[in-house]
Amino acid sequence: MTKISTVLVMGASRGLGLALAEEWLKRGWHVIATARSGSAGLDGLAARFPASLDIETVDIDQSAGVHALRQRLAGRAIDVLFINAGIARAIAESPATASEQDFLAMMLTNALAPVRAAELMGDLVPKGGTVAIMTSELASITHATGGWQLYSASKAALNMLMKGYAAKHAGDGHALLLVAPGWVRTEMGGEDALLSIEESIPHVVDMVEANRGKPGLRFVDRFNRSLPW
């Protein structure tokens, strides 16, 4: 009998996270999807895939809630942990004009919280498994143009924190992926974005599966191409 693989998608209420959950369900995986409150999208998936989807509630900004989720999942093996949650605020602002609150919110949700979630949940991932976090092409310091400046800084901080995580967890044997999905039409990406969700997420899932069993940290796009830090 073939073992059914399990993915935990954190931040799956809508947009790319919901699409990741759907894509892995369609591929026959068991999916644990988290949202910080009720999600009509996840309820719809639960109706289509009642035996394969577990929905959990957690706000990744709240470390106590992530700890509690870790306790609830004790004993489960998570083949792929995919932390997708993210926010974009003050996208047209500069350090001189942005509200400090908006910047701090992005640093918490986009940088600190995902890596903290990886630290708290990572031991559920067996050797050979994968820890992936949704970053962005905009995280690249090499390619920075000043657009979405504060958001980009938060994703660059995420990448830096993940570099540290990779060094400290080198013995875990996990593929560690910082994933750039492309510019996609979601609430965050907006209607002018280049890609539909269908043009991004199936490739992202292919890329994650292609990296299975390949330990070490990579900053990659949906086609598994390395991006400059």
Ligand X SMILES: NC(=O)c1ccc[n+]([C@@H]2O[C@H](COP(=O)([O-])OP(=O)(O)OC[C@H]3O[C@@H](n4cnc5c(N)ncnc54)[C@H](OP(=O)(O)O)[C@@H]3O)[C@@H](O)[C@H]2O)c1
Single residue of 52, 86, 149, 172 touching ligand X by CB under 6 A? 86
**160: how many CB neighbours lie within 10 A of its CB?**
15
- Of 12, 95, 83, the closest CA to residue 54 belongs to 12
Q: What separation in angstroms does the CA of 192 have from each of 13, 75, 90, 135, 168?
A: 22, 44, 18, 20, 40
16 touches ligand X by CB under 6 A: yes
188 touches ligand X by CB under 6 A: yes
| Residue whose CB is less far from ligand X, 109 or 159 | 109
Query: Near ligand X by CB under 6 A, which window of 24-32, 89-97, 177-185, 215-223?
Result: 177-185
Cβ–Cβ < 8 Å for 179, 206 = no
Least distance to ligand X, CB of residue 189, Å? 3
Binding mask 102-141 vs ligand X (x if CB under 6 A, - otherwise)? -------x------------------------x-x-----
Cβ–Cβ < 8 Å for 127, 171 = no
Single residue of 145, 146, 187, 192 touching ligand X by CB under 6 A? 187
15 touches ligand X by CB under 6 A: yes
> DSSP string of 48-102?
HSTTTEEEEE--TT-HHHHHHHHHHTTT---SEEEE-------TT--TTTS-HHH
d(C-alpha 208, C-alpha 96), whole Å: 38
41 touches ligand X by CB under 6 A: no
Query: Near ligand X by CB under 6 A, which window of 6-14, 68-76, 166-174, 212-220?
Result: 6-14
Single residue of 55, 85, 150, 177 touching ligand X by CB under 6 A? 85
* Footprint (CB under 6 A) of ligand X, residues 51-80: 59-61
149 touches ligand X by CB under 6 A: no
Least distance to ligand X, CB of residue 127, Å? 27
Instruction: Compute how many residues bind ligand X; rule: CB under 6 A.
Output: 27
Residue type, 185: R
3-state secondary structure 154-179: HHHHHHHHHHHHHHHCHHHCCEEEEE
- Residues engaged in binding ligand X (CB under 6 A): 11, 13-17, 35-37, 59-61, 84-87, 109, 134, 136, 181, 183-184, 186-189, 193
